[in-house]
Structure 1
Amino acid sequence: MSFKTIIKLMDIKTLVAGVIPVLLGSIYSWYEFGQINLVYLILLMISMMLIQSATNMINDYFDFKRGADSEEKADEKALVSGEITPKQVLFIILIYQLVACTIAIFISSRTSYNILLVGVVGVMISILYAFGPLPISYTPMGEIVSGMTMGIGITTTVIYIHSGVFNLNTVLVAAPTVVYIGTILLSNNLSDLKGDKEAGRKTLPILIGIENSEKLWVFNVIMLIVLTLVLILIGIYPIAVLVFTILLFPYKSVSNFLSYNKNVNTKGRTMGLIGKVGLKYHLSVITGLLISIMFKAGV
């Protein structure tokens, strides 16, 4: 079992979905409530990368057991290529979850044990995503569940850890991230549409078709800007966020996305595009918040 195999198992291109809500929640807590704990920030990022990786592995494990992954996925699936055994994958999942659990217990002991309840719910959802008579990943609800769980769940929890505050504003601030994370899964499912259909899945792209899925992808990307404007108009974000979003947003990603066919062979390109959109958008928001923090401090 090599380091390359572990990276393949973790599916690092998806880890941004766990890291972004942690960064956003931490910086927003600093901006709105003047509270941020750098130790918690580092530990939360490590924990979320481990949890996201473990979730990816759980999904791969059960797909492998069901025979849902074809040989053409050997380049991205370590179990399919035979680089690792199912028992080894289960062992890694256990280690990752134990480390993440230890971090959660430590942070909860310093803040609130309500965090543990949130963690338990998150673990249950990650298991139900891939396990059971009707896994969430086999339904059209995957985008909604992942977006809500990781977008609102992680962001609001992170804000609460830093500041002790949970209210409507801390939920609303996560709205664009909900859309973004759901679009990550939409991108993945759109690329895997053919194989998913053969495996008996009923994902959203299978339900609405390739053309409508592409339209939804474009709509979601545009909604990131629209929701940002709304958050500014209702006083949750400062105007600096809109300025940097307009300046840094990767507008060409939309035309690039529409310029080629989506399939397993172009999956890397599709995931790269949505990753670029998410990173640049959230970098814009975080930069705007940091600039506003500096002005608040009179720098």
Structure 2
Amino acid sequence: MQQTKIWWKLLRPHTLTASFVPVLVGTVSALSITDIKIPLFLAMLIASILIQAATNMFNEYYDYKRGLDNEHSVGIGGAIVRYGISPRTVMGIAVAFCGIAVLLGVYICMESSWWLAVIGSICIAAGYFYTGGPVPIAYTPLGEITAGLFMGLGIISISFFIQTGTITADIILISIPLSILIGAILMANNIRDRKGDKENGRKTLAILLGHQGAVRFLAGMFTVSYLLVVALVLTGKESWWLLLVGISLPKAIRAIQEFHGKTKNAEMIDAMKFTAQVNTQFGFLLALGLFLGHLYG
């Protein structure tokens, strides 16, 4: 039982909604054009979760190799040093997850378009090079935008395409708020780890902005996400049902409040938790709003 809990922590389950929710939003959006093909939805869902889990493991492996994690590391990272898991095993499972995702991708391509093989390969490469390679994306100010583009816009668009065979301007627009919130999860993580990351040579956006500047930037990300949904409704592009996302607003406010005045990593755990919950709640409510809009207009 203890070993199961350790492996569950290694998957970083609180981050996996960042892959599940975009698939749901992209698939529900397709209802305005076609009936949903459940096998394709499930294949896309499992492949996305596997790639996200593999990315988390690549991150675990390379943070260990570069000495960023130790037994005193705060948060869910550092499982290798904390629990004595073999680094080779972690990397092996990550590669296996990518392999299974590729097999699912072959099925998806057979049912839709082989162009997705190119896009899927790029997504897997992005997951690896986020912390792997000579110049990891995680060490640059581009982490948030990379996560948002691939896990938000990318997954939503692919999920929509495999159901409909097309990409529309509307699906691009609906993906932007969620893409921003996925980037916000990474921003929250980088705010917490800012001091340690700076000591280890990283140049994340949080480091460049400083603590207060990064928290203000995070607040701006939340604000823009909600305002974009309001704009889509007011311009008539989407139904009023999308305003259900407002139910998640208190979580966003709480996340910002929890970051203010905090200086130690352990003090910012709740802020990170609330930020992840914003993405989850916002995404589910967005999908629900799209579904209800399809039913009732």
Inter-partner Cα distance in structure 2 for 1:259 and 1:126: 29
Paired with 2:256 and 2:289, the residues of 1 have a C-alpha distance of: 27
**Deviation digits for residues 223-263 of structure 1 (CA, Å, limit 9, x no counterpart):** 12101022223443212212x233x2332541453245154
C-alpha change, 1:151 and 1:263, in structure 2 (3 Å) is farther
What is the aligned partner in structure 2 of residue 33 from structure 1? 33
Asked if 2 retains the 8 angstrom alpha-carbon contact of 1:151 and 1:178, the reply is yes
- Report deviation, 1:170: 2.0
The whole-number CA distance in structure 2 between the counterparts of 1:114 and 1:201 is 35
CA distance in 2, matches of 1:105, 1:262: 47
1:127 counterpart residue number: 128
**Contact 2:258 2:268 (8 Å CA) reproduced:** no
CA contact (8 A) 1:189 1:203 kept: yes
In structure 2, do the counterparts of structure 1 residues 203 and 3 end up closer, same or farther at CA, with 3 Å as the change threshold? same
1:133-186: CA deviation from partner (whole Å, max 9, x where unpaired) = 211000111001111111111111110011111132221211101110110100
Shift in alpha-carbon separation, 1:236–1:34, aligned structure 2, 3 A = farther
Q: Does 2:184 match 1:188? A: no
Query: What secondary structure does 1:250 align onto?
Result: helix
TM, length-normalised to structure 1: 0.92
Show the counterpart of 1:57. 57
Alignment partner of 2:249: what SS? coil
8 Å CA contact retained: 2:59, 2:130: yes
Hey, what does 2:117 align to over in structure 1? Answer: 116
Distance 1:288 1:277 in 2: 16
- Deviations 1:59-98, CA, capped at 9 Å, x for gaps: 1111111112233217632112143111111211122111
Q: Residue 110 of structure 1: CA displacement? A: 1.3
Letter in 2 for 1:33: I
Structure-2 separation of matches of 1:278 and 1:93: 24
Contact 1:128 1:136 in 2 (8 A): yes
Question: Are residues 1:220 and 2:221 paired?
Answer: yes
Report the counterpart of residue 80 of structure 1 in structure 2: 81
Please report how far the alpha carbon of residue 13 of structure 1 lies from its aligned counterpart in structure 2 after TM superposition. 1.0
Give the 3-state SS of the residue equivalent to 1:112 in structure 2.
coil
Letter in 1 for 2:276: G
TM-score for the superposition, normalised by structure 2: 0.92
In structure 2, what is the Cα distance between the partners aligned to 1:135 and 1:60? Answer: 13
Trace 1:53-202 onto structure 2 (pairs within 5 A). 53-73=53-73, 76=76, 77-202=78-203
SS in 2 for 1:209: helix
State the SS of the aligned residue for 1:72.
coil
Distance in 2 (alpha carbons) for counterparts of 1:148 and 1:38: 25
- Runs of 4+ deviating beyond 6 Å: none
Q: Find the counterpart in structure 2 of residue 16 from structure 1.
A: 17
- Superposition CA RMSD, Å: 1.8
Structure 1 residues 100-159: Cα deviation after superposition (integer angstroms, max 9, x where no partner): 111111111111111111101111111221122211000111001111111111111110
**Whole-Å Cα distance in 1 between the matches of residues 98 and 27 of structure 2?**
22
Q: What residue is the counterpart of 2:47 in the other structure? A: 47
The whole-number CA distance in structure 2 between the counterparts of 1:23 and 1:105 is 20
| Residue 236 of structure 2 corresponds to residue 229 of structure 1 | no
Gaps of 5+ in 2: none
Aligned partner letter, 1:189: N
Sequence identity (%): 30
User: Given the superposition, is the C-alpha separation of residues 67 and 51 from structure 1 closer, same or farther in structure 2, using an over 3 Å criterion?
Assistant: same
* Equivalent residue number for residue 257 of structure 1: 256
Counterparts in 2 of 1:262 and 1:29: CA distance versus 1, 3 Å: farther
- AA aligned opposite 1:106: Y
Q: C-alpha separation between the residues in 2 aligned to 1:235 and 1:161? A: 26
Name which of structure 1's ranges 220-229 and 136-145 shifts more when overlaid on structure 2. 220-229
C-alpha distance in 2 between matches for 1:74 and 1:227 = 34
